[in-house]
Structure 1
Amino acid sequence: MDTKKKEVSFSLAILPLAAMMAAMAITIIVFEGSPHVPLIFGTLIAAFIAWRVGYGWKDIEEGLYKGIRLVLPAVLILIVVGMIIGSWIGGGVIASMTYFGLKLLSPAYFLVAITIICSVVSLAIGSSWSTMATIGVAGMGIGMSMGIPAPMIAGAVISGSYFGDKMSPLSDTTVLASGLSGSNLFEHIRHMLYTTIPGLIIALGVYWYLGRQFSSATTGTGEIDSVLKTLQEHFLISPFLLLIPVIVIVLVARKVPALPALILGVILGSLASVFIQGSSVGEAVTALQAGFTLESGNEMVDTLLNRGGIDGMMYTLSLILVAAAFGGVLESVGMLEAIVKQILKLVKSDKGLLSSTVLTAFFSNIASADQYLSIVVPSRMYSKAYQDRNLHPKNLSRALEDGGTITSVFVPWNTCGVFIFGTLGVSAFAYAPYAILNFSVPIISIIFSMIGFSVVKLSDINAKRITNEVEDAV
């Protein structure tokens, strides 16, 4: 790409985002439509402005492709997740997990329990997506069978999954944030404890409070008994089927890449469908493509289990590609950079710098539609400002994660928001009030930065050493 183009001014850079958000509000609120067309509209506005300031079509096209290339790993994982859901439902894995979950877990403490379980699993494997695609899917079935609203369950699953992802040394976003800022990985993780542990405690407290209304005395055991009976009538329920998700989780924990581990889960689920549940090979293949279908007569069971397959992910996949194209143009022609530069001009203190980093990371999730860019763009923009103020790089890395990694779930067109909708079947607007950890951590981070708590300064010697290390890495 030709870098000798005119810089985009702040007033022009903000136009595509403002136009997209306005179109998004009208489309979703007034017409009850999907986010696809507003994102395309915003992309057209961004492309037109880029052309007017001197970028050619090849430059703009390369920006589109660059954004799409960035999300291709997510696209592949989503396709496999669609197949894994279809195969695990057909193989009786989800039915068995739901059955035993209903037998063992109390409705009153389910939200707390699923948050803790997802936290532990995600901490062990370093992946919120893999946790939600396995434990999260089963948790949705168990919780909804107990009469707990789907948005509440999704919020608890998300809170737990992102706690583990954020705090795990195996997490790609954790490694990325520490690496880009020049902070030691484990120093970065320890520094995040100040904001993330209080966020988890708040989340568990809220889930405990919400769960009280779903005690056995108020939920009604008759409906649960009906679900259990229906599951037994249509599936062979066995604790041995639980080994399939355990195998996948263990493989990921042993640093096997997520894609091969999930593909093995698809194969094992399909084998279970044929050899344990008695489905034909054709039915097992159809579940991978079109999803599982069941007419049990029990509306709740049918709602839980009639899903999955590659076809079920097409809406999600198309939204990711459109959002990635929009973010690619904004990033490649310097519009995001122009907006962040304007923000930097307003920053007059350390407190303002830290708070601005958190907010900019969240803004990048909205504008670029990808959580990785929400870490990359602010780190590139703010790194020198932290050095100039002798702020330890772990302040920057923590702010990037507090504002970027976990807030990505609140943006319906962000890759994370789209993934959750495709996997858990709940929209970002519905689960947002219940993803307690995800919105409490950024608030805690901003409060701590304003009062100066856990803000670490560098000595002159350490500042010079870290600056040299960052320059050498670049």
Structure 2
Amino acid sequence: MLLFAFAVANIMTLAYLVRKGYELKKLLMVAWRGIWECKELFAIILLMGATISVWLSSGIVPSLIFYGFGYMKGINFVLAAFLSTAVISYVMGTACGTLSTIGIAILGIGKGLMIPVPVLLGAIVSGSFIADKIAPISSLTNLTIQMTGTSYKKYVETSLKTLIPAIIISAAIYYILGNSYGGEADFYTIQQYQNFIKQGFEVSPFLLLFPVFVVVLAFSGIKIVYNMSLSVFAASIITMVLQKLNFWIVLKSILWGYKANTGMTQLDSLISGGGAIPMIEVVLIVMGGVSLSSLFEEADMMKPITNMFYKKDDKVPALIAKTGALSTLLNVVTCDQTVGILVPAKFSASRFDEKGLDRSILARTISDTGTIVAPLMFWNVNALIIYGITGISAISYAPYGVLCYVCPLVTIIGSLFLSKKAGKVSSEEGKSIAI
């Protein structure tokens, strides 16, 4: 549906611009140039699908779930749901992938503990969408980085200054909610899940070091394409050696996604998925967004809107608030995070440069607002996917998606301190800040 919408939008924009006197061949070249500049991003998206499948087949994700459930015994379950999904989503790099694996398992256990489903799902959604904001192998994280022209290391350093306070505040709220509804994790239910995982996979604490290695490489400045390619290769070897799957099954999993066969239908549905080929649709959607944005830029179609939106005398807090509002508004209108990243990144960058603000602050502003609030809107693609996975509408769980509200607030409050810092360096040409 979204792919069709982008295709129609591109065709209509091309037709409109040709009628205005633009040469069709030149417009097509502009669109192609924009797409070609993002070729590395498209490779990352395909590699993300491959990574998820081999991390499932190798036992890495099952081991994370196995040991993660072990730590849930006897603790506040709502808080545990938030923290565990946050960690696993950061490793997996996909919010919906986290929701459809450990998220469903946690939800099932929570129902048995009589914890209201909307409360627990709100905590799971909050933790899961950390992936879209900051995970090194997330397509949205890499789209944000690439479009704003910053590095992953710089982006994370800047983002943690708002994300850590947001996580602490959210954890405190979930701790209170968890105490309100009682319910410590049920030992018997958790033991069942662990037993079935152990029957279907060779689990090992050493497998937990693999995601750590990938994160270390990302922070070391290794290009994410090389990092993910190495990850897929190494996890494939682990799958063949440790899980005793042959080469052709591994290759099929990389291309089409991993299909678990543990003998337990419920567990199989939790630890299946991924694949490069299913990610082709995501690549095409991003291509549609990039080409449309390139056409808008060529014809200066967005300039009047952004000029009306922004003012020359905007202070730093106003600039950040307006950029966040623009990203969120585009997310609301288009029902997807992609345009909410592309447009602010392209059309707000010069304004951040003028204020002496590092581009990583622009990236953080977008991810703290338009990206993170996506699952709160029931018409958004992410919310519809969550509804398809859980049968729960965003109308029910949105009030409890605490992190999705806290992140934008922390960013706006933090911009007040940025204003003071920016004032100190505004007279120093070429100097930028990141706080």
Tell me, yes or no, if the aligned pair for 1:287 and 1:309 is still in contact at 8 Å. Answer: yes
Cα distance in 2, alignment partners of residues 379 and 328 from structure 1:
15
Match of 1:465 among 394, 410, 428: 428
Match of 1:293 among 229, 241, 259: 259
Task: Provide Cα deviations, 1:194-230, integer angstroms capped at 9, x if missing partner.
Answer: x65553343323433455588654x644443332222
SS of 2:302's equivalent in the other structure is helix
How much does 1:406 deviate?
A: 4.7
What amino acid is the match of 2:35? I
Residue 156 of structure 1 pairs with residue 131 of structure 2: no
Query: Using a 3 Å threshold, how does the CA distance of structure 1 residues 409 and 441 change in structure 2: closer, same or farther?
Result: closer
Query: Using a 3 Å threshold, how does the CA distance of structure 1 residues 305 and 266 change in structure 2: closer, same or farther?
Result: same
Tell me, yes or no, if the aligned pair for 1:163 and 1:196 is still in contact at 8 Å. Answer: no
SS of 1:455's equivalent in the other structure is helix
What amino acid is the match of 2:192? S
Query: Using a 3 Å threshold, how does the CA distance of structure 1 residues 58 and 277 change in structure 2: closer, same or farther?
Result: same
Residue 113 of structure 1 pairs with residue 83 of structure 2: yes
Residue 76 of structure 1 pairs with residue 39 of structure 2: no
How much does 1:162 deviate?
A: 3.2
Residue 329 of structure 1 pairs with residue 295 of structure 2: yes
Using structure 1 for the length normalisation, give the TM-score: 0.68
Cα distance in 2, alignment partners of residues 56 and 325 from structure 1:
16
How much does 1:67 deviate?
A: 3.2
Cα distance in 1, alignment partners of residues 58 and 284 from structure 2:
28
Tell me, yes or no, if the aligned pair for 2:95 and 2:129 is still in contact at 8 Å. Answer: no
Tell me, yes or no, if the aligned pair for 1:140 and 1:153 is still in contact at 8 Å. Answer: no
Q: Which residue of 1 aligns with 2:105?
A: 145
Task: Report the structure number with the largest CA radius of gyration.
Answer: 1
Tell me, yes or no, if the aligned pair for 2:59 and 2:201 is still in contact at 8 Å. Answer: yes
Using structure 2 for the length normalisation, give the TM-score: 0.73
Match of 1:60 among 13, 27, 38: 27
Cα distance in 2, alignment partners of residues 247 and 397 from structure 1:
24
Match of 1:360 among 326, 340, 347: 326
Cα distance in 1, alignment partners of residues 62 and 314 from structure 2:
57
Residue 97 of structure 1 pairs with residue 68 of structure 2: no
Q: Which residue of 2 aligns with 1:264?
A: 230
Cα distance in 2, alignment partners of residues 458 and 311 from structure 1:
45
Cα distance in 2, alignment partners of residues 227 and 420 from structure 1:
27
How much does 1:171 deviate?
A: 9.3
SS of 2:428's equivalent in the other structure is helix
Residue 39 of structure 1 pairs with residue 9 of structure 2: no
Gaps of 5+ in 2: 111-119
Cα distance in 1, alignment partners of residues 368 and 412 from structure 2:
15
Residue 133 of structure 1 pairs with residue 67 of structure 2: no
What amino acid is the match of 2:54? S
SS of 2:252's equivalent in the other structure is helix
Cα distance in 1, alignment partners of residues 29 and 10 from structure 2:
13
Cα distance in 1, alignment partners of residues 95 and 374 from structure 2:
22
Gaps of 5+ in 1: 1-33, 119-127, 180-184, 387-392
Counterpart mapping for 1:426-465 below 5 A: 436-446=402-412, 455-456=419-420, 463-465=426-428
Counterpart mapping for 1:26-425 below 5 A: 34-106=1-73, 107-114=77-84, 117=87, 131-133=91-93, 141-147=101-107, 152-159=123-130, 162=133, 189=158, 193=161, 198-212=165-179, 217=184, 220-344=186-310, 355-363=321-329, 369=339, 371=341, 373-381=343-351, 393-394=356-357, 398=361, 401-403=364-366, 406-410=369-373
How much does 1:325 deviate?
A: 2.3
Q: Which residue of 2 aligns with 1:123?
A: none
Task: Provide Cα deviations, 1:218-276, integer angstroms capped at 9, x if missing partner.
Answer: x6444433322221222112222223223222222222222212222212221122111
Query: Using a 3 Å threshold, how does the CA distance of structure 1 residues 178 and 315 change in structure 2: closer, same or farther?
Result: closer
Cα distance in 1, alignment partners of residues 244 and 181 from structure 2:
36
Cα distance in 1, alignment partners of residues 134 and 166 from structure 2:
9
Q: Over the residues paired in the alignment, what is the CA RMSD in angstroms?
A: 4.5
Cα distance in 2, alignment partners of residues 162 and 432 from structure 1:
18
Cα distance in 1, alignment partners of residues 261 and 47 from structure 2:
25
Cα distance in 2, alignment partners of residues 69 and 159 from structure 1:
28
Tell me, yes or no, if the aligned pair for 1:151 and 1:434 is still in contact at 8 Å. Answer: yes
Cα distance in 2, alignment partners of residues 432 and 41 from structure 1:
31
Cα distance in 1, alignment partners of residues 279 and 221 from structure 2:
26
Query: Using a 3 Å threshold, how does the CA distance of structure 1 residues 111 and 69 change in structure 2: closer, same or farther?
Result: farther
Cα distance in 2, alignment partners of residues 364 and 220 from structure 1:
42
What amino acid is the match of 2:124? I
Deviates more, 1:36-45 or 1:401-410: 401-410
Cα distance in 2, alignment partners of residues 420 and 102 from structure 1:
26
Deviates more, 1:58-67 or 1:151-160: 151-160
Tell me, yes or no, if the aligned pair for 1:162 and 1:406 is still in contact at 8 Å. Answer: no
Q: Which residue of 1 aligns with 2:114?
A: none
How much does 1:76 deviate?
A: 0.7
How much does 1:340 deviate?
A: 0.7
SS of 1:55's equivalent in the other structure is coil
How much does 1:280 deviate?
A: 1.6
